[in-house]
Amino acid sequence: MSNTIKKIIAKNSEAERLDIFLSIHLKISRSQAQKLIAQKTILVNDELPKKAGDLIKLGDQITVGQKIDKIASISPKKTAVKKVSFKIKIIKKTPDYLVVEKPYGLLTHSTEKNEADSLANILAKKYPELKKVGEDKRRPGIVHRLDKEASGLLVVARNQKMFNHLKEQFKNRTVEKEYLALAHGQVAKDWDEIKFPIERSRQGERMSALPATHKGEANLSGKEAYTEFDVIKRFINFTLLKVKIHTGRMHQIRAHLLAYNHPLVSDPLYFQKKRKDKWDKICGRLFLHCTRLAFTDLDGQKQEFESALPADLEKFLLLLK
């Protein structure tokens, strides 16, 4: 590649890893792109990227070929990390509820740390009535959640009557949720169910899913958990699954598939240390997306919604063919 300084404006509305963006636009390998980033010859909106996996969004300006030490005007303040702006797609809006697509990397609601960025906070600013809905001020209108690392469909209640109605459906396990998930390895069975109980691990931030007996001892402390899956497609080293959950335990799909010996691609918590992570790095995000959601409204009518696989995950699947 020449030393000529080149500026590229991102035109894709879907967030994309910086190294993948550079490899596509400069027609170089990802390792070459990562080398350019490491050499500090890449700027994003006149700032140094933190890492090769930083996400590039619509309108970002990428400068290629200019050494950072030659830019005297950049101060520590100017090199601060740019705040990520999340785009939330509203699938359906009614007086009683919102159906939205949560993007990857966004918390459903804030935790004890009171994070400013969460789906709940963003929606509450746009729809102030949500602040009076629910049982927890940190979770206005939120009846169920998706992991920060996952993406896909969520229903949010706009009034307390709908909140209670949805809560009852989740309690009775009548809400239907389906996911697309890419697992490591070739899953042998075309269909199977996983019923390993789930409990919080000693590490605290993750859950453990163990068979009913583990090292000869019954797992009595774990909570009931039920996951069902169908194989959609097998690749050489991966399997695309349609997953249904019949219970709603924290990290259920991720913990269950790890215990099933087929962890999800790019899972930062539930992974096997012995497995090489080359493809996880290329994917750059957890391959888990809620594609279907169904529940009944206050009139007793079934409402069903679908969400296509995000463009970044579709692109990754193309690499496996």
> For residue 56, what pLDDT is reported?
86
Give me the mean pLDDT over the 21-47 stretch: 86
**Share above pLDDT 90 across residues of the chain, in percent, rounded to a whole number:** 58
Exposure of 206 in the CB half-sphere (CA atoms within 13 A): 14
Closest CA to 155 of 94, 229, 228, 227: 94
Please list the residue range(s) of the chain that carry CATH number 3.10.290.10.
6-70
pLDDT tens figures, 218-252 = 455 688 999 999 999 999 999 999 999 999 999 99
Instruction: CATH number for 89-320: choose from 3.20.20.140, 3.30.2350.10, 3.40.190.10, 2.40.50.140.
Output: 3.30.2350.10
pLDDT band at 274 (very low <50, low <70, confident <90, very high): confident
Please list the residue range(s) of the chain that carry CATH number 3.30.2350.10.
89-320
Closest CA to 312 of 50, 18, 33: 18
Q: Which superfamily is assigned to 6-70 in CATH?
A: RNA-binding S4 domain (3.10.290.10)
Exposure of 163 in the CB half-sphere (CA atoms within 13 A): 17
Quote the CA–CA distance of 122 and 154 in Å, as a whole number: 14
299 is catalytic: no
SS3 at position 146: coil
Q: Are strands 151-157 and 97-102 parallel, antiparallel or unpaired?
A: antiparallel
pLDDT tens figures, 119-175 = 999 999 999 999 999 998 889 999 999 999 999 999 999 999 999 999 999 999 999
Name the residue with higher pLDDT: 299 or 276. Answer: 299
The structure tokens listed for 17 are 């890893």
Q: Determine which one of 19, 54, 60, 147 is catalytic.
A: 147
CA 241 to chain CA centroid, Å, is: 16
DSSP state of 47: B
> For residue 181, what pLDDT is reported?
98
Quote the CA–CA distance of 99 and 47 in Å, as a whole number: 36
Quote the CA–CA distance of 234 and 223 in Å, as a whole number: 31
Q: Which residues contact 175 (CB under 8 A, 6 or more apart)?
A: 144, 166, 169, 293, 294, 295
Quote the CA–CA distance of 153 and 41 in Å, as a whole number: 39
